[in-house]
Structure 1
Amino acid sequence: MNTIAENIANFLKEYQPFSFLSNDELIHITTSIGIINLEKNKTLFQADEKLHDSFYVVASGVVNLTFLADGEEILLNKCYAGDVFGLRPFFAKNNYMMTAKSREDSIVYAIPISIFKPFVSQNSNVLDFLLENFASNTRNSLDKETGSVVSDGIYSNKTGEIQYFQSLSYNKTPLKISQDEISKDVAQLMSDNLIDSAIIIENNYPIGIVTDTDFRSKIANGRFPLNSSISKIMSSPVVTVPESISVAEAQLLLLKHNVSHLCVTKDGSDKSIVSGIISEHDIVVAQSNNPGVLIKQIKKALNPKELKQVREKLTELVQSSIAKNIPIPHIFNITGEINIAIIKRAIEIAILDLGSPPARFCWISIGSQARKEQLLLTDQDSILVFEDVAEDKYRDVKDYFIKLAKRASTILEKIGFQYCPNNHMASNMIWCKSLSDWIKQYNNWMKTPGEQSNEISSIFFDVEMVLGENKIEEAINEVIFNNAKNSVLFFDYLGNDTLRKQPALTFFKKFNVEEEGLHKGKFNIKNKAIMPLVDGARLFALNMQLKGVNNTYLRFKELAIIDPKHSEIFLNCAEAFLVLTGFRTLEGLKNDNSGEYINLDELSKIDKEKLKNALMPMKELEELIKDKFQLTQFS
């Protein structure tokens, strides 16, 4: 017996998934394993490099997995002895999405995919281990005994859940033939239709599949004559899947069954009518729509048209995620990151047109963009803050940034982000000014609310930097939270503003619908249901000095921890916000609009009750606001 192979086998069997294999199976694998000595800082593979024919296990040392973001190398994971990485060739066809580099002198085992793949499809424990880690993108760094799979870019922390449930486009008009057809005729039909597969059916149900590979491996080599019936060379039984199959689910099934195609049927069984066929090529195409790829496309975009195409793909992603019942917080995460990336790129394109900025600055999203709650395309909300400059340079500097903001806003409008009807945009000279001027603005708003010509708007207290200097954003946040300390007048104003909105339900617990105008009879879910929760979460977040959390759902979750006495109210509001957002998003996707007005006549009785129940926590929130801020009357 090969002593080296035996030593490697003894090492691997201490770690999953290799511990699920027999000693003979391990020896079979280890005789084909390559041993790679990596000196410190040596690269094993890098982002955009073509996939290797092996995956890797750390034998000793440490290997870092990194990726580039905005020119910086970001550490995603550290791989220690027993950790598996570089699995991308199992699941994808495109290049590596990150770099593997040794942190110190290391030894790595290279395990050929072709040698290991049969054990994946034959051993359910091995498969389950890979699938679980593949889907969840987790590694237990504390559990060195069991080993772990380290993600190499199939998913990222912020995109895993979405791509795992991402819907898949496939051929919905596959070639369907009977098992009595002659192979030569089927090959001609496939060639005429420019397709690489055909489904064999009997009584409208799939009984097999034939692909280009079958013709090459069974007829081209002389095993069967050209005039054989197709039943002789077809693969049977066919692997069937439901119409709602996701990208990741399809990938995993192709791996599990070691096949290149999946047959789609109405209910996912082989006793159901065929409704499509999925190929490996379909998977590769679908991957171009995953969030990680979208971010990469955004960074490379050179004009509004390219950015608009990405935003349209994001809408499709939101739609499929809602249909799959993906938790709303996960969808917030994805859409928020991609929207911010689009806005950032729009500003960068504008800078490329205008030339370098004459001073340091910070472009800040406000309102729903800052809260990362824009699942649907809505309007732009932003401010621009530039550093303090000498008085004689102020006018020229401000002129540049107004031009920059106008150009960026025009680009965003072309992408689909409408201009703010209240002109709360950086392109408005009122909202484009120096840091000192902004500090004065916030001081005036918060110390003497309602007395300034620029009436205070609560959306200016949701801030998220898109591009620019972190220190400028930090200065804005500092003035906000410093002023919020013991500011009775400010919270009196903001609290009354929150309570002033029309109630969602009438005295008789009926929906408070629009009484006139274009939307007569419809329920304004934004203004009467969602915004009171948004305003309430913001109010308490400012009061309790909750920094760095803008999203309404997350604010309520954090508030429940900070204020245990009222945790039930906050948690109920958090769940209500998700339900209401779901209703609005569905309405918007259905009608290709902002989803602001719900047509109650189109809701089922169950959905109406669900909607009404989501409005119930608002009353408790109102009472808590009145009690907390001593608001006995409001105007």
Structure 2
Amino acid sequence: MNTIAERIYDFLKAFPPFSMLTSVQLLEICKAVDIHYLEKETDLFIAGKPIENQFYVVKDGAIGLFREETLALVDECDVGDIFGLRALMRKGEYKLSAKAIEESIVYSISSELFEDYITTNAEASAFLMSSFAANISYIESNPLQRRNQTENIQDFFEEQFADYSKNPINCSAQTSIKEAAQIMTNKRVGSIIIAKNNMPIGIITDKDLRIKIATGLISIEESVTKIMSSPVITYPENITVAEAQIAMIKNRITHLCITKDGTPNSELKGILSEHDIVVIRENNASVLIKEVKRAKTAEELKHIRERAHQVLKRYIKQQIPIIFATKIIALVNESITQRIIDLAIVDMYEPPPTTFSWLAIGSQGREEQLLFTDQDNALVFGNVSESEYAKTQSYFLELAKKINHDLNIVGFELCPADMMGSNPKWCLSVSQWNEQFKAWITKPDQDNLMLCTIFFDFEFVYGDANLVDMMAKSIFESIDSRDIFLNYLGLNALKNPAPLSFFRQFLVEHDGEHKDQFDIKARAMMPLVDAARLLILSKNTKTQSNTITRYEKLAALEPQNKDVYFACRNAFKKLLRFRTEQGLLHNDSGRFIDLESLSKANRLELKNCFKAVKDIQDLIQTRFKLSQFL
């Protein structure tokens, strides 16, 4: 074997699916690999051009995949990533353009080598099939793919484009309810769209007819506008099953209107119903959430959450995008909490004396609680008179105690630091919470800053959302009145620098139970979390709590820094996935990692994430002029 082939072999053997090949198979591939050197901004292939007879692996640098019409970055391929294989299997023309977004070296591998050495290896073939389904929006249909498709591919139907009805039944706003019902009966459909100039303005379903007409509430001779749901929830034609599931769950509906550009103000193209994405597995997320709503005890909810844990295992094993996994598990966790609160209220001696809201804080508030970790939550209730305060707080403390107890049964352990709604410190009226936030911000010592980093990631779960809006407004008012607070929060965000020593070695724990292990949460993830929180607070917005979406929002607000923000987003995705994989592997929180157990490729991938930590901390130090504080 020649020297170049040896170097290629040493590189590829660290990355799947090449790591799954036999030495003989991989050696044959390496002998025929072509090497491409690309300067920054150089095109490798262009959308609309005939597909080359090869696919690619990034050796060094990074390759961006862009949509031709919008120039939007669809994906960023880092060291070891494969791209262009789906296009090779599809044939025809490229649908995306590939461009070096930094100086790069890329290996290309022909389709003949792919068919001879990769598709013939069962493990490598299964890995690729999983990767396709996890990272693309639809699954192509051609002989080569069908030949290598496994039963497990059905586990990824959520990421395919949804197969919606292309000929939606519609009527005008002047149509009577009786006429609409007759049309639905004749066409054998469960819904009808009310359209104007072929744009959807409302929808009627069988449920509407049953609840509003069969009960006699409204005459069947009235116009359809009397009972239609409006405005409609619309999505573009390329909606995935995953997006449809999340939209239906979030909006508590069973039908989505499909329009040309995804808004109600464009041409109606179809309708997607819950029936169209009928459950094909027992542990489908939407089924679990429906079961949550029917559950009568915490023990039943525990069983459902354990099944959701198995869903997570499958998603991680088969490379479902981490952002999708977090959304699904967050919805399950939220639904379970809501059901527990419903049951707890029923079990109380009387109804709540005033309005209240239950808040998830910390990682659950950020929708990043994929594994079973301890609880972090709080309760806020409406302002009452001073004479009624103690009695009102006592009621909500008892309610919160029931909620915390049942969440513990489900699998979310009681918080060791007692940061829960059952703690009188975290069960307050709106005005008391406002005073608490003001005190923390006015006196930003280490303890108060720690509390801010936890409580400022709150998310409304149950109750009166207006109370939460009032809290958010109070936080920003307090910050505005104390400008220096953001500087202290900035210093706090810098307390954990990029976790590499002078010699580029991982910084590990020096003593204690986790001696010589790497703390991925404190040393790698929390610096990115803290930075995103600080920067989004400085923009005076509470619309984003999730770290990934915070960085995406920041990139939109500051396009001049989008490269830094996208790098942080991508690094956090990788770290979150890595921690989840470790937690599932060792049946723990995944926080502490034995570096010796990792492959060279995994260690390299972790190290690559640390540059984003350094870059974002450099940005913070400059923006908030923190050198004078250090």
For the aligned pair, the TM-score class normalised by the smaller chain equals 0.5 to 0.7
Distance 1:305 1:411 in 2: 8
The answer to whether structure 1 residue 40 and structure 2 residue 177 are counterparts is yes
The answer to whether structure 1 residue 402 and structure 2 residue 397 are counterparts is yes
* TM superposition shift of 1:148: 3.8
Among 320, 324, 327, which residue is 1:326 paired with? 320
Change (3 A) 1:43 1:57: closer
Change (3 A) 1:374 1:42: farther
Change (3 A) 1:323 1:435: same
Paired letter, 2:525: I
1:150 aligned counterpart, secondary structure: strand
1:362 aligned counterpart, secondary structure: strand
Match of 1:422 in 2: 417
Say if 1:500 and 1:634, in contact at 8 Å, map to a contact too: no
1:151 aligned counterpart, secondary structure: strand
- Counting only pairs closer than 5 Å after superposition, residues 67-106 of structure 1 correspond to structure 2 as 103=224
2:505 aligned counterpart, secondary structure: coil
Distance 2:511 2:293 in 1: 45
- Counting only pairs closer than 5 Å after superposition, residues 102-501 of structure 1 correspond to structure 2 as 103=224, 140-142=258-260, 148-154=269-275, 283=280, 286=281, 288-354=282-348, 355-450=350-445, 456-485=451-480, 487-501=482-496
* TM superposition shift of 1:546: 2.7
Paired letter, 2:592: Y
Cα displacement string for residues 262-304 of structure 1 (whole angstroms, at most 9, x for unaligned residues): xxxxxxxxxxxxxxxxxxxxx4xx2x42222212111121111
Paired letter, 1:490: F
The answer to whether structure 1 residue 516 and structure 2 residue 545 are counterparts is no
Which ranges in structure 2 are unaligned for 5 or more consecutive residues? 1-168, 213-221, 228-236, 245-255
Distance 2:572 2:274 in 1: 32
Among 549, 555, 561, which residue is 1:554 paired with? 549
Say if 1:504 and 1:529, in contact at 8 Å, map to a contact too: yes
Distance 1:435 1:57 in 2: 43
Among 45, 56, 64, which residue is 2:203 paired with? 64
Distance 1:514 1:41 in 2: 72
1:388 aligned counterpart, secondary structure: coil
Paired letter, 1:141: T
* TM superposition shift of 1:571: 0.9
Change (3 A) 1:393 1:494: same
Distance 1:377 1:339 in 2: 10
Question: Percent of aligned pairs with the same residue?
Answer: 34
* TM superposition shift of 1:374: 0.8
Distance 1:52 1:588 in 2: 54
Match of 1:544 in 2: 539
Say if 1:537 and 1:555, in contact at 8 Å, map to a contact too: yes
* TM superposition shift of 1:596: 0.5
2:292 aligned counterpart, secondary structure: helix
Paired letter, 2:308: L
**Which has more radius of gyration?**
1
Paired letter, 2:328: I
* TM superposition shift of 1:484: 2.5
* TM superposition shift of 1:57: 9.2
Q: Number of matched residues? A: 419
Q: TM (normalized to structure 1)?
A: 0.60
Distance 2:291 2:191 in 1: 32
Match of 2:595 in 1: 600
Distance 2:266 2:442 in 1: 59
Say if 1:514 and 1:524, in contact at 8 Å, map to a contact too: yes
* TM superposition shift of 1:511: 0.9
* TM superposition shift of 1:147: 7.0
1:473 aligned counterpart, secondary structure: helix
Change (3 A) 1:342 1:608: same
Match of 1:114 in 2: none
Deviates more, 1:453-462 or 1:497-506: 453-462
Cα displacement string for residues 32-89 of structure 1 (whole angstroms, at most 9, x for unaligned residues): xx999984278869xxxxx9995579698677266999xx99xxxxxxxxxxxxxxxx
2:177 aligned counterpart, secondary structure: coil
2:357 aligned counterpart, secondary structure: strand
Distance 1:290 1:614 in 2: 32
Distance 1:420 1:136 in 2: 33
Say if 1:444 and 1:452, in contact at 8 Å, map to a contact too: no
Cα displacement string for residues 159-207 of structure 1 (whole angstroms, at most 9, x for unaligned residues): x8xx9xxxxxxxxxxxxxxxxxxxxxxxxxxxxxxxxxxxxxxxxxxxx
Across the aligned residues of Structure 1 and Structure 2, the Cα RMSD in angstroms comes to 3.7
1:457 aligned counterpart, secondary structure: helix
Cα displacement string for residues 245-270 of structure 1 (whole angstroms, at most 9, x for unaligned residues): xx7xxxxxxxxxxxxxxxxxxxxxxx
* TM superposition shift of 1:633: 5.9
* TM superposition shift of 1:406: 0.8
Say if 2:298 and 2:410, in contact at 8 Å, map to a contact too: yes
* TM superposition shift of 1:562: 0.8
The answer to whether structure 1 residue 528 and structure 2 residue 523 are counterparts is yes
Match of 2:619 in 1: 624
Distance 1:147 1:444 in 2: 53
Say if 1:363 and 1:467, in contact at 8 Å, map to a contact too: yes
* TM superposition shift of 1:521: 2.1
Distance 1:304 1:320 in 2: 25
Distance 1:445 1:553 in 2: 26
Paired letter, 1:522: Q
Distance 2:332 2:316 in 1: 17
Distance 1:365 1:615 in 2: 29
* TM superposition shift of 1:323: 2.0
1:487 aligned counterpart, secondary structure: coil
Say if 2:289 and 2:332, in contact at 8 Å, map to a contact too: yes
2:604 aligned counterpart, secondary structure: helix
Paired letter, 1:317: V
Change (3 A) 1:517 1:57: closer
Paired letter, 1:481: F
Distance 2:500 2:374 in 1: 27
* TM superposition shift of 1:445: 1.1
Distance 2:190 2:393 in 1: 54
1:364 aligned counterpart, secondary structure: strand
Say if 2:180 and 2:224, in contact at 8 Å, map to a contact too: no
Distance 2:435 2:289 in 1: 36
Distance 2:594 2:381 in 1: 44
Which ranges in structure 1 are unaligned for 5 or more consecutive residues? 1-33, 46-50, 74-100, 107-129, 164-246, 248-282
